[in-house]
Structure 1
Amino acid sequence: MDNLATTWVGATAKQISRAVRRGDTSATQVVADHLEQIAISEPSLTAFRVVRGGEAIVEAEKVDEQEDLANLPLAGVPVAVKENTPVAGLPTWHGSAAARTPVAEEDHEVVRRLRGAGAVVVGVTRMPEMGLWGTTDGPDGATRNPWSLDRTAGGSSGGSAAAVAAGLVPIAHGNDGLGSIRIPAACCGLVGLKPGRGVVPCDLGIDGWFGLVEHGILATTVGDAALGFSVLAGRSPAKLTPPGKLRVGVSLRSPIRGVRPDEPNRGAVATAARLLVDAGHDTVTAEPAYSTAVGIAGLLTWFGAAYRDAEAAGTDLRAVQPRTRRHIRIGKIAWQRGWVRPAQREAWREQSIKFFEDRNVDVLLTPALAATPPPADGHANGRWHRNMLDNMRYAPYAAPWNVAGLPAIVVPVGSRPDGLPVGVQLVGPPDSELLLLSIAGLLEVANPWPRHAFV
């Protein structure tokens, strides 16, 4: 970045950690630069629930005091953590005062791993109430898309996505239950990786939404996404290598009947497919067998998870948003009547794994979204059915792969006519995270994207 002579804002996580390890700069200076940028941009974005200004500086100083930084892959890197994931010394808000839990006595395991790698937590980022929605707003404001402030940054990891896209942190933690990393990544022009089931410790809510939820990373580069993933997975940083010749399945079919991708999203898939062919890979049409039964299983699990989380936390339903209250009440019915069935989810997982074998494809390429991101405001107080329709119409492509527990990544490939980013989704079989990252790297090299929209 041209501004590295005066500030580390805009640098990648890899650039920052390398400079701190070499002694070219200090973690304290890097964190101070980012806190200054947060102070400038946060009033416009509303990305953070809380900024840990003084605490972050103290933590950065402790990084600088360490004698051996060589084994810290995120040495001095400012990171943000989504507000439903415990950070020691802070309440866990879950997007709502009504759902907030007491001050955490210790870090969640993924936060512990980030700090253990040398990262400095500068704050926790906003999400919609209980992480239920694909837009991030509430009574105290909406998280805005840095590329167009009147549009949503997505959800539920909307605050993390806005913070990364605006350069407030180089990488951020998120988690993904029905697209909550990949939807904001697509809205904000980021790389967003949802690992496969069990690759990163979950430990959120009741059984991690019955196995739907995974922790992951939002970043502006594939290299940073790979580095962050390695840390969360407890692995040594992996060096990505170009994959051998691949057979890429391509599908525009929406998992939701009656929803079709608009022209920019169809064009993004065509562009990505062409780039992969130019790189020597084969593409074939390959349509997953989305069914009404799969959709119903996903919906019932979503409803039931909301009810079980609210029940376990003792949430006062009178204090939550009307859309959330109805969602929980439907979930109570689904749970008590036995409609939330693991057998349905497992059947779709087996069918999805078999899809790659039967169609002889290594990965699946789909749109990331179906339409432009909705307006930033007005969702939290809106009717439940309107929120449901808005979410399903603009972001139908992510959820099936949570039900299946398969890894998936969103990668930017260009811009819409209105200037908002547009991306594609890549899905792979179990244990294909590094393959997906490698393919994303091919797209990045062949078709570089603007990394930030500074606000």
Structure 2
Amino acid sequence: MAQTAVEIARGVRAGELDPVQVTEEALARIAAADGVVGAFRRVRFAEARAEAAEVAARPDLASLPLAGVPVAVKDVTEVAGEYQGWGSEAGPRTAADSDGLIATRLRAAGAVIVGLTRVPELCIFPTSDDPTGIARNPRNPSFTAGGSSGGSAAAVAAGLVPIAHGTDGLGSIRLPAAMCGIVGLKPGRDVVREDAPGWFGLSTHGPLTTTVADAALLMSVLADRPEWATPTTPDPVRIATSTQVPFTRAPLPRPLRAAVDQAADLLASAGHTVISATPAYPLRTLAGLLARWFAGPAEQAAGSFDLSRLQPRTRTHVRLGRLTSHLVTDRARDEWQAIAAQFFNSHDVLVTPTLATLPLKARPWHRKPWLTNAVPSARVAAFTGPWNLAGYPALSVPVSRHPAHDLSMCVQLVTRPGGEPLLLGLAAQLESRNPWPRTV
């Protein structure tokens, strides 16, 4: 796949590209490669072709921001005619009567939904596998594509689709973006407003793309903020860098530390003020995160899932969630938000590694015990999770390569609420000064 979403939409609007042909090419790529990549739970071959023909016939085609762009959607949101799988064999199989918020906005913008991407059961863990397949990092298939938006990240990194939708509760967009070497943006709380946000307000929707321009375009559609569609060059800002692992101060692999140093040099060369500074990460923040990580899936499972058919690791997690649900309070969140606000009074942006460990290997993690899953999950997400609790926007962007593995080393950019355009502008500066390979 050579063309970006921006390029495809521009070509379709100008009459230079046919949405049906663009969709056929995407479906052909999926058919050829997804047996190895494992990105999709379901590919909508017939439905996507029909949708592409409908897009081609729309009278407003010349004004659609995602005109004819093939997009993958994480298997956690309502798509008319499809059931929400949530990576589980224990959930209902009732097809949605109508589109939810995400599919509605994508279709209104002219996108073609080509498939639903693989996730771990109830999106609990940062590895996306199930009894039918494993979402793998297309750059090095011996590593996982991450999770819980791993299928979406794999589909984009493999060039099967130019853009994909994901959700992020403790890093579920940023972690797979970092593992697969693409761009992933978690917007701030309530930027994509839903009636019932997941995991007690931790989770939100966002884009996974190969370029910053595509991330801005897709984010503008998901958030219904057309003014965000094109990144703009930011004025000089105060940037803090930190490689201290939150809560544990665990050792950080040298390539992850080096990526932050390289990003700092690039941002300084763009005229920004860069210093070293670390927020105070109180242990109560960790307790607040863990309580929601346990209780959120437990609350969901109690609704419409057959608990006896859940994977063993998930059943254990749900049991823990029932025991800890009373610990979900606003106290830890409010304290952390106050600390974060104080930190960002002195700094405009924080740059950290996205991952706190190297990516995990691709394997059937769903067959392994809960503790075998939980320990590496908590370790790898140490830098990402706190910003879900704070409700701050955060973006992962590739910077360098691991010296031994074909893996991207990525950094996370964090800013105060409302700063999504700033993050996109800074990421665009990093991209222009330090281009990365878009797809495999």
Both structures adopt the same fold (TM-score exceeding 0.5) = yes
Give, as a single letter, the amino acid of the residue that structure 2 aligns with 1:351.
I
- Residue 11 of structure 2 is matched in structure 1 by 19
After TM superposition, the structure 1 = structure 2 runs for residues 266-285 of structure 1, keeping only pairs within 5 Å, are 266-285=257-276
Match of 1:210 among 195, 200, 205: 200
2:329 is the alignment partner of 1:347: no
CA shift, 1:40, in A, is: 0.3
Give, as a single letter, the amino acid of the residue that structure 2 aligns with 1:270.
D
After TM superposition, the structure 1 = structure 2 runs for residues 108-119 of structure 1, keeping only pairs within 5 Å, are 108-119=100-111
CA distance in 1, matches of 2:2, 2:321: 42
CA distance in 2, matches of 1:131, 1:270: 32
CA distance in 2, matches of 1:296, 1:67: 53
2:428 is the alignment partner of 1:434: no
Q: Tell me, what secondary structure is at the counterpart of 1:175?
A: strand
Match of 1:219 among 206, 209, 220: 209
Change (3 A) 1:237 1:74: farther
CA distance in 2, matches of 1:202, 1:161: 23
CA shift, 1:151, in A, is: 0.6
Cα deviations by residue, 1:1-22 (Å, 9 ceiling, x for unpaired): xxxxxxxx33100000000000
Give, as a single letter, the amino acid of the residue that structure 2 aligns with 1:330.
L
CA distance in 1, matches of 2:195, 2:372: 31
Match of 1:368 among 332, 354, 378: 354
- Residue 415 of structure 1 is matched in structure 2 by 401
CA distance in 2, matches of 1:312, 1:419: 42
CA shift, 1:344, in A, is: 1.8
After TM superposition, the structure 1 = structure 2 runs for residues 28-427 of structure 1, keeping only pairs within 5 Å, are 28-203=20-195, 207-238=197-228, 239-313=230-304, 315-335=305-325, 338-357=326-345, 360-417=346-403, 418-427=405-414
TM-score, scaled to structure 2:
0.98
Cα deviations by residue, 1:91-111 (Å, 9 ceiling, x for unpaired): 100111113452111111111
CA shift, 1:259, in A, is: 2.3
Q: Tell me, what secondary structure is at the counterpart of 1:148?
A: coil
Contact kept? 1:261, 1:367, Cα under 8 Å = no
2:435 is the alignment partner of 1:452: no
CA shift, 1:346, in A, is: 2.3
Change (3 A) 1:312 1:342: farther
Contact kept? 2:287, 2:332, Cα under 8 Å = no
Change (3 A) 1:436 1:449: same
Higher mean alpha-carbon deviation, 341-350 vs 108-117, is at 341-350
Contact kept? 1:73, 1:237, Cα under 8 Å = no
Q: Tell me, what secondary structure is at the counterpart of 1:150?
A: coil
Contact kept? 1:307, 1:328, Cα under 8 Å = yes
- Residue 4 of structure 1 is matched in structure 2 by none
CA distance in 2, matches of 1:389, 1:263: 21
Give, as a single letter, the amino acid of the residue that structure 2 aligns with 1:331.
G
Contact kept? 1:307, 1:331, Cα under 8 Å = yes
Instruction: Work out the number of aligned pairs and report it.
Output: 438
Q: Tell me, what secondary structure is at the counterpart of 2:365?
A: coil
Change (3 A) 1:71 1:381: same
CA distance in 1, matches of 2:258, 2:92: 42
CA shift, 1:221, in A, is: 0.3
Higher mean alpha-carbon deviation, 210-219 vs 137-146, is at 137-146
CA distance in 2, matches of 1:176, 1:305: 13
CA distance in 2, matches of 1:414, 1:21: 35
CA shift, 1:203, in A, is: 4.5
CA distance in 2, matches of 1:383, 1:71: 51
CA shift, 1:237, in A, is: 4.5
Give, as a single letter, the amino acid of the residue that structure 1 aligns with 2:343.
F
Q: Tell me, what secondary structure is at the counterpart of 2:233?
A: coil
- Structure 2 unpaired stretches of 5+: none
CA shift, 1:393, in A, is: 2.5
TM-score, scaled to structure 1:
0.94
Cα deviations by residue, 1:7-57 (Å, 9 ceiling, x for unpaired): xx3310000000000010110010000000000001001110100011101
Q: Percent identity?
A: 48
CA distance in 2, matches of 1:421, 1:437: 19
- Structure 1 unpaired stretches of 5+: 1-8
Q: Tell me, what secondary structure is at the counterpart of 2:265?
A: helix
CA distance in 2, matches of 1:412, 1:378: 27
Contact kept? 2:212, 2:231, Cα under 8 Å = no
Q: Tell me, what secondary structure is at the counterpart of 1:413?
A: strand
RMSD: 1.1
Higher mean alpha-carbon deviation, 16-25 vs 387-396, is at 387-396
CA shift, 1:342, in A, is: 2.0
Contact kept? 1:256, 1:392, Cα under 8 Å = no
Q: Tell me, what secondary structure is at the counterpart of 2:362?
A: coil
